[in-house]
Amino acid sequence: MSNATTGPDNLTGVTPDTGLKVGQSDETGPVLAADGTSLKSSLNRALRKQKMRALLLIAPLLFFILVTFIYPIGEMLFRSVENQIVGETLPRTVVELADWDADVTDVPGAPVFSALTKDLMVAVEEKNHTRLGSRLNYELSGVSSLFRKSGRGVDDFGEVYTDQFVALDPAWEDPATFIDIFAGERWLTENAAYDGEGPRPRFRLAPGVDDVLPETARMYADFARVVQVEDDDNPVEEEPWNAVYLALYEELSAGAVIPADFPQAALLNQAQAAVATFDTEDLRAQFVEIDEDWADREVWRIIQGYSAPYTAGYFLNAVDLQQTPDGVAWRPENQQIYITLFIRTMIMSTAITLACIMLGYPVAWLMANLPARQANLLMILVLLPFWTSLLVRTSAWKVMLQREGVINDLFVWIGIVADDNRLALINNATGTIIAMTHILLPFMILPLYSVMKTIPVSYTRAAKSLGATNWTAFWRVYFPQSVPGIGAGSILVFILAIGYYITPEIVGGTKGVFISNRIAYHISSSLNWGLAAALGAILLVIVLALYWAYDRIVGIDNVKLGG
């Protein structure tokens, strides 16, 4: 016989029933779950586990979208304000140029040209000077060639100081002298043990050397880094650039204090005593000799104005504005194209959407009301264009729309137009609207058809039985129920239209291209990714604003794809 409390017919501990009874036995206490914890806490824990399981199920897809979609778009949009190339390529010049006032002097002083010499020497070895020139050329035409020409001659700048140091003591020509002064013991050990496998050990300055000769140490560190990374050579075996001797001359002339225990202190003190008699070099004159634009105040204004790591210049250009010394101003009238393109894109996309509604609605209604066999055949015809390349379809329209094309020939044959007065249907807005309406028409028909298929035929029959005419039954009963399909198709067609660039590029000429064509041009041809990103960001904001307005006026919940 089983025990009354521990037998097989009885459970020990707290069960759901007993737990609930325990909770109810104390009217003032909380309701407890089976494990003795608060019922509310237990339910919250169960809900958290359920949400975590759901999150884990969608985590792979979420990660995929984040990596392949969100991050690339964010990275591209960041380029619309990113402007770090100026400060990274000309760090010394930017610092020296910060105090220059263009209203006081036409061009900066000697320290700026000295800093430019050092920065440009590094940039040329790293091949960054052409990228910098291309960036600034967006703001001022001719700057790109200015940096290219200067890059070819900057190697010789400062050579007069190199020759005089070597003439003073041949030790200055020996790379070991500079290694002794600037190289750290840790790097020397690692470099001596380097066996040629993998990257060379990163150059490190000796402790304290940048306190005594800060600019020379910085310049030599740049030299050593470039020699290692760009040339894959050993700084121990390479004579420093002329820019290193230039920096050393400037710091010794400025009265740098050389401690007695500093490496090569005697050699440095000897040089410091002699630099007062050195011949000097007019770096400004040398830059101007290479290209007179270095004496142009506007060049320096552009460098100074775009030296910050972030800029609104791309967005200003995207709306036909520019940054001037007097503030933001309109670009010259012959350069104002982007606002026109934005307006044209909106107008033509709206026209294409309306054309798709007018052409697609009757086709969708016919498909929804025909017997299944005929409706399926018509559906195949609607989907048939998807089986042909977009480029082929667009090229076909280019052939058909020409003055001597099929459509004009047909109009002449019928007698609608005279042979000497053929219609201009290509390389203009008309050609773009015709071709894109044909291409985007299926995207309007399919949502309309899916919604119309769900509308019972008995509704219109009932309206007619109550005395309504065919038009009244359609307009008062059938059409309102098809509006969600019109909304879905319109959003789909409009958003696709404003982003198209292949069709307008082929059939639009100069009067039928969209803003997307300029974005594609800056991405693939001019390589002005910052302006392309700014144009794309503005287009995205416009689309989101229109979407918000549509939701406020119509209601996005009313948009349906069927069902």
The predicted-structure confidence for 19-31, as pLDDT tens digits, reads as follows 444 444 445 566 6
Residue whose pair of structure tokens reads 């791309």 in the numeric block: 314
Q: Which H helix or E strand runs over 328?
A: strand 327-330
**132 and 180 within one domain:** no
**293 and 149 within one domain:** yes
**Nearest in space to 430 (alpha carbons), one of 403, 393, 392:** 403
Residue 334 lies in a domain: no
Give yes or no for a contact between 187 and 180, defined as CB atoms under 8 angstroms apart: no
CA distance 399 to 4: 97
Residue 546: exposed, middle, or buried by beta-carbon count in 10 A (0-12, 13-18, 19+)?
middle
**129 and 249 within one domain:** no
Reduced to 3 states (helix: H, G, I; strand: E, B; else coil), residue 291 is: coil
CA distance 139 to 302: 7
At 399, which CATH number?
Answer: 1.10.3720.10
CA distance 39 to 33: 5
**533 and 386 within one domain:** yes
Question: What is the pLDDT at residue 38?
Answer: 76
Residues whose CB is less than 8 angstroms from the CB of residue 212 and which lie 6 or more positions away in sequence, other chains included: 256, 257, 258, 259, 262
How many other C-beta atoms are found inside a 10 Å radius of the C-beta of residue 88?
A: 14
Residue 502 lies in a domain: yes
How many folded domains does the chain comprise? 3
**529 and 503 within one domain:** yes
Give yes or no for a contact between 515 and 345, defined as CB atoms under 8 angstroms apart: yes
DSSP codes, 392-433:
HHHHHHHHHHSTTSHHHHHHHHHTSS-TTS----SSSHHHHH
Question: What is the pLDDT at residue 41?
Answer: 80
**366 and 463 within one domain:** yes
**Nearest in space to 185 (alpha carbons), one of 167, 204, 200, 199:** 204
Report the sign of the C-alpha dihedral through residues 75, 80, 82, 87, in that order: positive
**181 and 93 within one domain:** no
Residue 240 lies in a domain: yes
**Nearest in space to 337 (alpha carbons), one of 315, 313, 321:** 321
CA distance 98 to 110: 14
Give yes or no for a contact between 341 and 518, defined as CB atoms under 8 angstroms apart: yes
**Nearest in space to 398 (alpha carbons), one of 439, 345, 354, 350:** 439
CA distance 452 to 447: 9
Q: Which tokens is 35 given?
A: 């494990």
CA distance 429 to 480: 32
CA distance 253 to 255: 5
Residue 98 lies in a domain: yes
- 322: β partners: 329
Give yes or no for a contact between 391 and 437, defined as CB atoms under 8 angstroms apart: no
Residue 77 lies in a domain: no
Residues whose CB is less than 8 angstroms from the CB of residue 316 and which lie 6 or more positions away in sequence, other chains included: 322, 323, 328
- 32: β partners: 38
**Nearest in space to 210 (alpha carbons), one of 201, 202, 220:** 220
Question: What is the pLDDT at residue 44?
Answer: 83
pTM here is 0.78
Kindly report the length of the chain. Answer: 563
Give yes or no for a contact between 493 and 348, defined as CB atoms under 8 angstroms apart: no
Give yes or no for a contact between 127 and 113, defined as CB atoms under 8 angstroms apart: no
**356 and 259 within one domain:** no
Express each pLDDT in 142-196 by its tens digit: 999 999 999 999 989 999 999 999 999 999 999 999 999 999 999 999 888 888 7
Q: Which H helix or E strand runs over 324?
A: strand 321-324
Question: What is the pLDDT at residue 557?
Answer: 66
CA distance 213 to 247: 9
**358 and 454 within one domain:** yes
**Nearest in space to 386 (alpha carbons), one of 446, 448, 345:** 446
Residue 230 lies in a domain: yes
Give yes or no for a contact between 349 and 439, defined as CB atoms under 8 angstroms apart: no
Residue 364 lies in a domain: yes
Local structure of residue 38 (DSSP, 8 states): B
- Regions of the chain short of the pLDDT cut 50: 1-11, 14, 16, 19-26
Residue 193: exposed, middle, or buried by beta-carbon count in 10 A (0-12, 13-18, 19+)?
exposed
The one-letter amino acid at 231: D
**193 and 133 within one domain:** no
Give the count of alpha carbons within 13 A of 81, CB side only.
8
Give yes or no for a contact between 166 and 172, defined as CB atoms under 8 angstroms apart: yes
Question: What is the pLDDT at residue 11?
Answer: 46
Domain enclosing residue 434, as ranges = 339-558
Residues whose CB is less than 8 angstroms from the CB of residue 331 and which lie 6 or more positions away in sequence, other chains included: 317, 320, 321, 322
Residue 399 lies in a domain: yes
CA distance 147 to 302: 13
Q: Which H helix or E strand runs over 543?
A: helix 529-553
Reduced to 3 states (helix: H, G, I; strand: E, B; else coil), residue 371 is: coil
**181 and 149 within one domain:** no
**162 and 151 within one domain:** no
- 205: β partners: 183
CA distance 478 to 171: 97
**Nearest in space to 306 (alpha carbons), one of 125, 96, 81, 531:** 81
